């Protein structure tokens, strides 16, 4: 805010302008659909009993809807960890070294509607966090 990139009012509530993700074929939903997308996300999270599934869905769908003007990735990773913690899983870090694989999994999930590689990537990161990675 002090640099003038964002106005303080832009940080309250969901975004009210279109966004485009650099390097991605995915274009997040129009601003008019953001609230409905977030309501659907909350409904899915509430209905899903398995913490690991909530973690994958929550992370991916926050990025898919891209509801905030800034910080969507950080919010998605925080939500992922909150969902994992609710199931007794450890705090899980997506390392900078894994950025290409991480983004490729998200791209496949959002562009091709195939979340498997993203789920496998996160499962590997959880295993690494537990010290059980092969």
Which residues does the annotation mark as catalytic?
66
Give dist(CA 19, CA 62) in Å, integer. Answer: 14
Nearest to 131 by CA among 100, 96, 89: 89
Give dist(CA 123, CA 94) in Å, integer. Answer: 11
């Amino acid at each position: 805010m002090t640099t003038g990139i964002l106005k303080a009012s832009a940080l309250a509530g969901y975004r009210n302008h279109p966004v485009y993700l650099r390097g991605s074929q995915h274009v997040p939903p129009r601003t008019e659909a953001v609230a409905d997308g977030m309501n659907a996300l909350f409904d899915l999270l509430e209905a899903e009993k398995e913490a690991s599934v909530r973690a994958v869905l929550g992370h991916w769908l926050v990025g898919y809807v891209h509801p905030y003007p800034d910080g969507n990735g950080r919010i998605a990773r925080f939500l992922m960890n909150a969902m994992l913690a609710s199931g007794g899983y450890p705090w899980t870090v997506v390392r900078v070294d894994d950025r290409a694989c991480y983004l490729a999994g998200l791209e496949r999930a959002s562009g091709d509607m195939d979340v498997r590689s993203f789920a496998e990537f996160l499962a590997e990161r959880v295993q690494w966090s537990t010290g059980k990675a092969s």
